[in-house]
Chains A and B, each alone.
Chain A
Amino acid sequence: MVKVNGTQMEIAGVTVAEFLEKNGYDRTKVAVEINLDIVPKARYDSTVINDGDSVEVVSFVGGG
């Protein structure tokens, strides 16, 4: 199991890019952390989410 923004999900084995696409996130409007470490945007396609990881997807909306 993987914890995503506090919720348990069965997503171990997918890449960050695949996870974002499947869940409707726009990769230009998010920051992704795994176990509190930022995942560089250039590594979204190569970073695999592992069992036991804690993933935080910070999604930004407009306004300021």
Chain B
Amino acid sequence: MEKGKGLARRWAVELHDASSSSSSFPDPPGFTRSAPEADDAATARQRKDSEVAWKGQKAWEVAQAPFKNLMMMGFMMWMAGSTVHLFSIGIVFSALFQPFNALRSVGKVFEPFKDPRVDTLAPKLLFIALNLAAMGLGVWKLNTLGLLPTNASDWVSSLSPAREVEYSGGGIPLI
């Protein structure tokens, strides 16, 4: 029936059904047509998984980045010495402000790794901890420079003398 119909037309171009025409060719050996199609979802999942892994890895890397910074700061501080001058003050302030800024932008830093399946909490915590450590180093340095009011002397140095209740004037009488 179909043939008869076909005979009736001189020619026909079937543009759309490539598969039907290609399916006329035998599949190469070892090729199962159904396999990739069945695997498609799996590949996507796999790709996603690797991205998640990558994101997780990256997040950890980002989280660990301050550690390097920490080491460098430590070295710089050691170089700066324990006397108050422009260089040491600069270093201490950068050591304090860098972690502070990092902590302020902690959300932004981990923005690219935001994923419901990626657990950024742990890297975030590490990041925060390391930055806090860097800040602590800065504070410690500030203290070694003697710029922290930790001594009693820092609190009494501007204390004016106490009022006296009694007053006694006099001296040698005028001759």
Note whether A and B form a binding pair: no
